[in-house]
Structure 1
Amino acid sequence: MTVTESLLSYALAAGILTLTPGLDTALVLRTAASQGSKKALLSAFGISTGCLIWGAMVALGLGAVLAASEMAFTLLKWTGAAYLAWLGLQMLLKPRSEMNMAASETSGKVLRIGNSPFIRGLFGNVLNPKVGVFYVSFLPQFVATGYPVGPYIFGLAAMHAVIGTLWSITMISATRPLSRWLRRPAVVRTLDRLTGTIFLAFAVRLAMTKR
């Protein structure tokens, strides 16, 4: 895979993933509605920083392991493909009909780290192991041929953080209409099914990847 193919396909996948409503979306929208745009932007920066931290941890550990072991590469490939396929099937067969806006409030009560929107966004992301598992499963298949795995994976994580921040700014700029749109059952179901289909496609692609 060339760098151009890698970045274009990853940008498409990461973009659709970012558009799918989840905990991060709920946190940004809730903060914008209750505390204003500036604090919502701080939450978005906290979330993006969390992505960079996860990206660095995955890049450092995963890059070394994949470079050293053919067995580790094969195990990770099939584990990642199975995980992505499971996520895709869940989204296709059991799409949500609503976005859980209360999730961000619950996570804030559990964390009790402080009132800073940046800290809430940061720790809400860093303390979510699903982000790390997803990065381990998802990012390796987009590494361009001939490039070192670790730095490239961190670059992809940074790209995801940028895409997420841009989407958060868009949501903050149009909090009310986007919030209403993202809460529509038909929109939530459609985005879940679209994301599920893409996850299944990438699961097959990952399973067929050769070192």
Structure 2
Amino acid sequence: MNLHLWGLYCVTVFLISASPGPNMLHIMSRSVELGLRGSFPAMAGCMSALVVMMTASALGLTALLFALPGAFEVLRLAGTAYLVYLGIKAWRAPVTDEAEETVEFERPGLSRWAVYRGGFTIAISNPKALLFAAAFLPQFIDPAQPKAIQMAILISTFAVIETSCYFTYAVGGRGLAGWLRRPAAQRWFNRVTGTVFMGFGAMLLRSQKA
């Protein structure tokens, strides 16, 4: 892989990663809820899911999966249901009189593993990411050079850029935390977040395999 092709890949990945999506919204909302450090497991969960999907694509497993009749539809409906569930959950989230500056992981349901699992689930539940990996990565592979090394470079580069965008969104979310001490602001944020999640679900439901 030459430097020009790699540079083009970096720019493309940055533009895609920086765009708002379910992963970025989830990480930002976790940062608001748990603080910057508390959002790290969510970042790790989202990233590990994406690396799994990109590796599966590199190994040809994605093509095999989508060759199975109905597989894409099942994944699409499952992903839609999960995003809608997150939207409803955000709408119904309780509002407190005084938001905490920090949130301890000892609270029920907020262990590091639970936060990681939430990030992994939201990223892995989007079948469009599988299609993206299958269609996008091969465009930057030089068939005259070893494929495995190139795929390793592409996936590693993607992980670095995507993680940087995660951190940026998390910092932005933490900046909102002070403003969200007010109950009315918390309620507004929860409802906007819930609506956006349900909107992502509706977009996924309308998407087609092609």
Please state if 1:52 is matched with 2:47.
yes
Shift of 1:106: 1.0
Gap change, CA 1:127 and 1:74, over 3 Å in 2: same
Q: Which amino acid aligns with 2:20?
A: L
With over 3 angstroms needed to count, the CA separation of the structure-2 counterparts of 1:136 and 1:106, relative to structure 1, is same
Give unpaired runs (5+ residues) of structure 2.
1-10, 139-150
1:96-111 to structure 2, matched below 5 A, reads 96-98=94-96, 103-106=103-106
TM-score with structure 2 setting the length: 0.59
* Residue in structure 1 matched with residue 117 of structure 2 by the alignment: 129
Larger helix percent: 1
The answer to whether the Cα contact below 8 Å between 1:85 and 1:199 also exists between their aligned partners in 2 is yes
1:1-211 alignment runs, 5 A limit: 7=15, 11-13=19-21, 14-20=23-29, 22=30, 24-28=31-35, 48-49=43-44, 51-61=46-56, 64-70=60-66, 71-92=70-91, 94-98=92-96, 103-106=103-106, 124=112, 128-138=116-126, 140=128, 143=132, 146-148=135-137, 160-169=162-171, 178-211=176-209
Cα distance change on mapping 1:25 and 1:160 into 2, 3 Å: farther
Contact 1:91–1:195 (CA under 8 A) maintained in structure 2: yes
Amino acid at match of 1:209: S
AA paired with 1:190? W
Give the Cα separation in 1 of the matches to 2:201 and 2:84: 5
**1:36 — aligned with what?**
none
Deviation at 1:134, TM superposition (A): 0.5
Larger Rg: 2
For residues 153 and 191 of structure 1, the distance between their equivalents in structure 2, rounded to whole angstroms, comes to: 34
For residues 8-59 of structure 1, the C-alpha deviation after alignment (integer angstroms, 9 at most, x for no partner) is 6972235544432x3x445436xxxxxxxxxx6xx77676455433431343
What TM-score does the superposition give when structure 1 sets the normalisation length? 0.58
2:141 maps to which residue? Answer: none
Q: 2:80, 2:202 within 8 Å by CA — same for their partners in 1?
A: yes
> 2:148 maps to which residue?
none
Structure 1 unaligned blocks of 5 or more: 30-39, 112-123
User: Helix, strand or coil for the counterpart of 2:208?
Assistant: coil
Question: What percent identity do the matched residue pairs reach?
Answer: 22
SS in 1 for 2:94: coil
Within 2, Cα distance between the matches of 1:128 and 1:46?
5
Using the alignment, how far apart are the partners of 1:130 and 1:168 within structure 2? 15
Contact 2:41/2:116, CA 8 A, preserved across alignment: no
* Separation (CA, whole Å) in 2 of partners of 1:196 and 1:155: 31
Contact 1:52-1:157 within 8 A present in 2 as well: yes
- Taking the aligned partners of 2:77 and 2:20, their CA distance within structure 1 comes to 23
Specify whether residues 85 and 49 from structure 1 end up closer, same or farther in structure 2 by C-alpha distance, changes over 3 A only.
Answer: closer
User: Structure 2 CA distance, aligned partners of 1:77 and 1:187?
Assistant: 33
Shift of 1:83: 1.2
